[in-house]
């Protein structure tokens, strides 16, 4: 087999984020909750804090951080964990890169104890290659292996990966067998490739029968990318049809949205773009906690930046550039500081600007 191109790519998540919605205050969230939903201002003993079992994995809360290529590095995972994320994921990892021992790809398998529970997300189109990669992820400490069948990026789709097709069930079966009984195997999918395509919903029961312990649905089509609104009627339908947890992804921008999805049948919610530059969104979603004051937001920016520079060395400077404007939009940085950080040529300059 010829080794395919498994160079890193930047998904639409990182390239073109939607504007981040303003945080809900407690009163606004309470007014917008569906009938019977817990009061956002009350104690956090609601469905978001109920335990959840996914295969062999026991979780103590139901708000997760999505895997995102180029974004969910170890420093990022530690940041959202500090605000309560119940499950975090690696960046999207090329199964081919693992299989062919690509050095940079193998770096994605590094995982510190403070990041557990952690899911490793793989993408690829060859069942044997994915199975080998899953076994190696299990040995590297993965609590869960997720197969990405939801990536709308052309570079991934043209390889046969990133969407559900006739081979999907066989891939899940091979990965579940290779990962072993102690590592849960899940699938992240979209509604389909284009409008009117219900491939995700049709295929999901076959994936569960093949060994998927949970299904995460982002109910947009691949053609939509991240435009429009996620159609969570699809999420509700899957939750009724499947006998494994269904995790809802798409437009989870606050506590009200998360609670509404759980009330509609989802077992958990997955935050993505709305938590970029706003890791404290997890505290708001889980507990109705107001956004931190400016000093605390800046303290988190400094801690996150210090982590990224320590972990990544000089590469951390470029990695951090995709966050500075997001932090500015969410009130953690003022415009002059954000612009100066964007121009910072090296780690020493970043540290100097942030007082690290």
Active site residues: 151
Phi, psi of 122 (to 5 degrees): -110, 150
Q: How far apart are CA 107 and CA 92, in angstroms?
A: 12
Closest listed residue to residue 69, CA positions, set 152, 13, 131, 135: 13
Q: Where are the alpha helices (DSSP H) in the chain?
A: 12-15, 26-32, 74-82, 95-99, 103-107, 127-140, 154-157, 168-179, 199-210, 232-241, 255-263, 281-287, 294-312, 315-329, 335-343, 347-354
Q: How far apart are CA 109 and CA 99, in angstroms?
A: 12
Q: How far apart are CA 171 and CA 292, in angstroms?
A: 43
Q: Which two tokens stand for residue 121?
A: 């997300």
Q: Which two tokens stand for residue 222?
A: 């691949």
For residue 20, CA distances in Å to 25, 100, 101, 265, 327 come to: 15, 38, 38, 25, 11
* Start-to-end CA span in the chain (Å): 48
């Amino acid at each position: 087999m010829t080794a395919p191109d498994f160079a890193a790519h930047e998904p639409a998540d990182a390239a073109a984020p939607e504007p981040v919605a303003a945080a809900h205050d407690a009163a606004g969230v309470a007014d917008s909750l569906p009938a019977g939903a817990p009061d956002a201002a009350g104690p956090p003993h609601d469905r978001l804090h109920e335990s959840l079992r996914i295969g062999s994995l026991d979780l103590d809360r139901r708000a997760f951080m999505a895997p995102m290529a180029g974004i969910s590095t170890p420093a990022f995972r530690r940041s959202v964990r500090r605000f309560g994320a119940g499950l975090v994921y690696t960046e999207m990892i090329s199964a081919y890169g693992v299989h062919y021992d690509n050095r940079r790809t193998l770096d994605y398998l590094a995982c510190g104890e403070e990041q557990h529970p952690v899911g490793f997300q793989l993408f690829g189109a060859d069942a044997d290659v994915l199975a080998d990669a899953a076994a190696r992820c299990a040995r590297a400490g993965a609590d869960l292996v997720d197969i990405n069948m939801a990536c709308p990026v052309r570079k991934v789709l043209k390889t046969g990966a990133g969407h559900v097709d006739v081979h999907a069930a066989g891939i899940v079966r091979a990965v579940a067998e290779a990962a072993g009984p102690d590592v849960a195997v899940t699938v992240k999918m979209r509604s389909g490739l284009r409008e009117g395509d219900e491939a995700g919903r049709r295929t999901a029961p076959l994936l569960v029968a093949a060994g998927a312990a949970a299904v995460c649905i982002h109910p947009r089509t691949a053609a939509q990318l991240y435009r429009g609104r996620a159609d969570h009627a699809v999420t509700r339908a899957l939750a009724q049809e499947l006998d494994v947890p269904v995790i809802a992804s798409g437009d989870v921008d606050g506590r009200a949205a998360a609670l509404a999805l759980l009330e509609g049948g989802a077992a958990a919610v997955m935050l993505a773009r709305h938590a970029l530059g706003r890791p404290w969104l997890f505290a708001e979603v889980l507990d109705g906690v107001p956004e931190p004051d400016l000093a605390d937001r800046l303290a988190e920016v400094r801690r996150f930046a210090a982590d990224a520079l320590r972990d990544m060395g000089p590469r951390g400077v470029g990695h951090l550039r995709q966050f500075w404007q997001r932090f500015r939009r969410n009130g953690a940085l003022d415009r002059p500081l954000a612009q100066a950080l964007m121009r910072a040529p090296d780690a020493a300059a970043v540290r100097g600007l942030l007082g690290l």
